[in-house]
């Protein structure tokens, strides 16, 4: 399946100040905030309407709600699936995986606890976590535009990866990781089917955690916990693929792999995809890989030589952290350089790779959490960057929106 959009966006948009103020006033700014007051829900739908119209006016695709319904990009799923329980104040770093890069970043910011979601019973999807989000977006589009919408979801491995070894589920619920992920995969499969039946055709799974396998510190933490990191990565690849098993044939599902995009332009890890590229690109069953390539922090394009024919890459060459507007000609050069690496690995031409397997985007969302956003990146500059992505795609792919 070719990428549905050559010009992409990764999901979250900067929240309007009135929405931020309303969420703060209602005390709904925690990772797993539920049951928003009706006035906040109403305002959320109102500003989603404004931001969707802006995307339509500017020919920005795919069309998203900006994740305005959520406080943080991974909110809204686990806490709404039966069997999970939110633990509001787990201590840092003890409550989380040994040498988890996220913990170190938060501790430096003076944060002492954060929530997690544990399976204390059997996992089962009873009511769709994200159908309401999709229905809100869909109602703002004509039926022939539904195919242009996209929804983001957290990785199925998110809680297991974040929480301390052996604490992602209680012993009364599951006796093995495989049992836990089998039921969780069933919940994802059900969610995919429900959203597809409601007209959604493009889903993005966000998994910055997989880039932790590129770092020496995280690998050292695994060793200290007597965990083989290669086996853990294999487990996660299996879990992802189990979620994708049996999905509707023309439902496009991609995975976003970045290095963190927290408030004040903070990233969590740095380094090339090289350590994980072969396993990830050749092992995961996703249609598309959304990759961060806006700065030297991401390394060069050489890991893309492992991309198999039939898989797509959306190159995140525009920064959401840096307010400076990138040079269009320089971005075209980056796309050509990436295409050359893929073409060499696949024994294809640059032209074939560009036309059949590539797209462009910002490297991440503009506000992975409500109060997030790059230093100096205003709403005006955000739209300018999304228009730049659109114009870049139009220069390379004549049929781009």
| Of 379, 388, 309, 369, the residue nearest 102 (C-alpha) | 369
Identify the bridge partners of residue 113 per DSSP, sorted by sequence position.
Answer: 91
pLDDT, position 265:
43
Other beta carbons within 10 angstroms of residue 397's beta carbon come to 18
CA distances for 169 relative to 86, 121, 336, angstroms:
12, 8, 46
Per residue of the chain (401 residues), give pLDDT as tens.
678 999 999 989 999 999 999 888 886 666 776 678 899 999 999 999 999 999 999 999 999 999 999 989 999 999 999 999 999 889 999 999 999 988 888 888 888 999 999 999 999 999 999 999 999 999 999 999 999 999 999 999 999 999 999 999 999 999 999 999 999 999 999 999 999 999 999 999 999 999 999 999 999 999 999 999 999 999 999 999 999 999 999 999 999 998 766 554 455 677 789 999 999 999 999 999 999 998 777 789 999 999 999 999 999 999 999 999 999 999 999 999 999 999 999 999 999 999 999 999 999 999 988 777 778 899 999 999 999 999 999 999 986 66
The conformational region for residue 142 under phi > 0 = left, psi -120 to 50 = alpha, else beta, is beta
**Rounded Cα–Cα distance for residues 211 and 197 (Å):** 32
Report phi then psi at 19, rounded to 5: -70, -40
Is the distance from CB of 260 to CB of 210 less than 8 angstroms? no
pLDDT, position 109:
82
Helices (H), 198-325: 216-224, 229-244, 274-283
**Rounded Cα–Cα distance for residues 13 and 377 (Å):** 11
Q: Which two tokens stand for residue 382?
A: 């955000």
- Ordered by where they begin, the domains of the chain are 17-396 (3.20.20.210)
pLDDT, position 266:
52
| Of 64, 7, 14, the residue nearest 376 (C-alpha) | 14
3-state secondary structure 69-100: CCCECCCCCHHHCEEEEEEEEEECCCCECCCC
Tell me if the pTM is above 0.85.
Answer: yes
Half-sphere exposure of 178 (CA within 13 A, CB side): 2
| Of 267, 266, 269, 248, the residue nearest 197 (C-alpha) | 248
Q: Which two tokens stand for residue 306?
A: 């492992």
Q: Which two tokens stand for residue 145?
A: 């535009």
The conformational region for residue 273 under phi > 0 = left, psi -120 to 50 = alpha, else beta, is alpha
CA angle 333, 338, 341 (to 5 degrees): 130
Is the distance from CB of 394 to CB of 289 less than 8 angstroms? no
**Rounded Cα–Cα distance for residues 303 and 293 (Å):** 12
* Cis peptide leading into residue 383 (ω within 30°): no
Is the distance from CB of 239 to CB of 157 less than 8 angstroms? yes
Is the distance from CB of 335 to CB of 357 less than 8 angstroms? no
What contacts 351, CB < 8 A, 6 or more positions away? none
The conformational region for residue 310 under phi > 0 = left, psi -120 to 50 = alpha, else beta, is left
């Amino acid at each position: 399946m070719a990428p549905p959009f050559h010009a992409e966006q990764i999901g979250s948009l900067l929240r309007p100040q009135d929405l931020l103020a309303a969420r703060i006033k209602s005390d709904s700014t925690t990772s797993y905030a539920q049951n928003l007051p009706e006035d906040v829900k109403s305002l959320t739908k109102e500003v989603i309407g404004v931001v969707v119209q802006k995307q339509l006016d500017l020919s920005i695709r795919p069309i998203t709600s900006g994740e305005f319904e959520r406080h943080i990009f991974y909110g809204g799923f686990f806490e709404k699936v039966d069997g999970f329980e939110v633990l509001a104040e787990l201590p840092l770093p003890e409550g989380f995986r040994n040498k988890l890069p996220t913990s170190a970043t938060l501790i430096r910011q003076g944060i002492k606890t954060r929530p997690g979601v544990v399976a204390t019973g059997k996992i089962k999807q009873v009511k769709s976590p994200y159908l309401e989000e999709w229905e809100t977006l869909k109602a703002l589009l004509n039926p022939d535009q539904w195919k242009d919408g996209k929804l983001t979801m957290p990785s199925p491995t998110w809680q297991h990866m974040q929480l301390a070894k052996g604490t992602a589920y209680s012993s009364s619920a599951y006796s093995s990781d495989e049992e836990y992920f089998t039921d969780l995969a069933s919940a994802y499969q059900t969610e995919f089917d429900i959203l597809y039946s409601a007209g959604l055709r493009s889903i993005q799974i966000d998994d910055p955690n997989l880039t932790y396998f590129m770092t020496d510190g995280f690998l050292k933490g695994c060793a200290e916990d007597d965990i083989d990191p290669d086996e853990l990565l294999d487990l996660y690849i299996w879990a992802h693929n189990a979620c994708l098993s049996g999905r509707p044939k023309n439902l496009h599902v991609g995975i976003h792999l970045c290095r963190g995009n927290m408030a004040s332009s903070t990233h969590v890890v740095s380094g090339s995809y090289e350590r994980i590229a072969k396993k990830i690109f050749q092992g995961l069953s996703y249609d598309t890989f959304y990759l961060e390539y806006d700065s030297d922090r991401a390394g060069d394009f050489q890991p893309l030589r492992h991309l198999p024919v039939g898989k797509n890459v959306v190159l995140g060459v525009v920064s959401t952290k840096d307010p400076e507007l990138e040079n269009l000609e320089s971005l075209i050069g980056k796309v050509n350089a990436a295409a050359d690496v893929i073409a060499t690995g696949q024994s294809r031409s640059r032209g074939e790779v560009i036309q059949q397997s590539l797209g462009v985007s910002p490297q991440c969302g503009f506000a992975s959490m409500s109060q997030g956003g790059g230093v100096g990146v205003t709403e005006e500059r955000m739209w300018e960057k999304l228009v730049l992505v659109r114009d870049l795609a139009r220069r390379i792919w004549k049929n781009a929106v």
